Amino acid sequence: MLDIIRIILSVIIPPLGVFLQVGIGLHFWLNILLTLCGYIPGLIHAIWIIARR
């Protein structure tokens, strides 16, 4: 159930979903960089991080 909430939040703001999953770390900063490069790469990365764990 929490993963669904994280995915919904990731659709709105991708780094938020990653932050809720792993905290502030390498994946969080990578997701911010990907989101700044484009919304879609950040979204894909966020969903991948949430689905992986």
**Distance (Å, whole) CA 7 – CA 1:** 10
Q: What is the pLDDT of residue 50?
A: 95
**Distance (Å, whole) CA 17 – CA 6:** 5
Q: What is the pLDDT of residue 8?
A: 94
Q: What is the pTM of this model?
A: 0.91
Q: What is the pLDDT along the chain (53 residues), one digit of tens a residue?
A: 888 999 999 999 999 999 999 999 999 999 999 999 999 999 999 999 999 97
